[in-house]
Amino acid sequence: MNRMAVLQLSVAMAIFGSVGFFSERTGLPALELVFVRCICAAVFLCAAWMATGHFKREKWDVREGMLISFCAVANLLNWIFLFKSFELISVTIAISLYHLAPIIVLIIGSFIFRERLSLFSILAISLCFIGTLLIMGTDGFQSSSPEWEGIMYGIIAAFFYAATMLLGKSITKTSVYATTFLQMFIGFLLLLPFVDFHAYTTLHASQWFYTVLTGIVHTGVVYLLFFNSIRHLPTNVVSFMIFVDPAVAILLDILLSGFVPNMVQIFGISLIFLGMIYSLMTTRPTENEVMQKRPHTM
């Protein structure tokens, strides 16, 4: 297994696990926050693309250009529907629904990439998903009148998240710098006609700080690592590594907010790490099938 790719994906998911902590402090609605994320990430990724000199060695491919465009749209909708679900339902329900994405990826990826979906992979992903439900708690599911619109947004976000992972794994010729920059730029263009620019006039300096930080670090850096790593990893490894995100979110709650997990949540965290470790130990290195298309390094 490509250890560097595993490390990059782990770092990306660990950083992204704190996005909720920072996005809450921006004071922006979902669409306007996503818009700024696209701008900040596009500037950062374009600078990285130029600084590394990859733009001089770029080999453009029409098919990959279409894949990048589709991936950009899927990623944009993934963000919008996720943040919209946060506005309508509790974060516990939204995140739980959102983490249906790895299961969707495993099922679809087994057909698209012809990667064998073993019983052990299904077991490992199931442990991770059950663990996610447990660490998010059950309070959010006890509402007598659930917001079905928010629930649907969460499910739709999971599908677009899965589509982003699958499409991103299919992009192998275009550099990761060009891929991520173009995705952010396309997202910027698509959102431009719908943004309420008055939302930015009331932001304080601290809110701008969190907004820009979320755009550069949680978007630019994370997606650079994310899209580079998933090119070199089997679909099942990508799927279970996504669960680093909620694990980090829980740890931040404990360390920064003074939240103390109950026994059920502790058990959930244990299941997540058990599933990840078990999958790492039982997954055979199949990334060579992807690398045969064209090796790529940062």
Does residue 291 form part of some domain? no
Residues 129 and 103 sit within 8 Å (Cβ to Cβ): yes
Does residue 83 form part of some domain? yes
Q: Residue 297: pLDDT above 70? A: no
Provide the pLDDT confidence category of residue 288 given band limits of 50, 70 and 90: very low
Q: Between 115 and 60, name the one with better pLDDT.
A: 60
| Residue pLDDT, tens place only, 131-181 | 777 766 555 454 444 467 777 888 899 899 889 888 887 888 888 888 889
pLDDT score for 291: 39
Environment class of 181 (CB within 10 Å of its CB; exposed 0-12, middle 13-18, buried 19+)? buried
Radius of gyration of the CA atoms of the chain, in A: 19
Residues 97 and 158 sit within 8 Å (Cβ to Cβ): yes
Provide the pLDDT confidence category of residue 281 given band limits of 50, 70 and 90: low
Does residue 183 form part of some domain? yes
SS3 235: helix
Q: How far apart are the first and last CA of the chain?
A: 17
Domain encompassing residue 275: 3-192+206-284
Q: CA torsion, points 164, 194, 91, 250, in degrees to nearest 10?
A: 60
| Residue pLDDT, tens place only, 194-219 | 999 999 999 999 999 999 999 999 88
Q: Which two tokens stand for residue 152?
A: 């649907």
Does residue 265 form part of some domain? yes
Does residue 167 form part of some domain? yes
Does residue 293 form part of some domain? no
Q: How would you label 82-108 residue by residue, b for 16+ Cβ within 10 Å and e otherwise? A: bbbbbebbbebbbbbbbbbbbbbbbeb
Residue with tokens 């809450």: 24
| Residue pLDDT, tens place only, 241-279 | 777 877 787 777 677 766 666 787 778 778 877 876 776
Residues 151 and 97 sit within 8 Å (Cβ to Cβ): yes
Phi-psi region of 137 (alpha: psi -120 to 50; beta: other; left: phi over 0): left
207 DSSP 8-state letter: H
| Residue pLDDT, tens place only, 7-22 | 888 899 888 888 877 8
| Residue pLDDT, tens place only, 216-230 | 998 889 888 887 888
Does residue 298 form part of some domain? no
pLDDT average, residue stretch 230-238: 78
Residues 63 and 156 sit within 8 Å (Cβ to Cβ): no
Contacts of 218 (CB under 8 A, 6+ apart): 15, 16, 18, 19, 22, 37
| Residue pLDDT, tens place only, 64-106 | 889 999 999 999 999 899 888 877 776 666 777 787 777 777 7
pLDDT score for 91: 67
Does residue 296 form part of some domain? no
Query: How many domains are there within the chain?
Result: 1
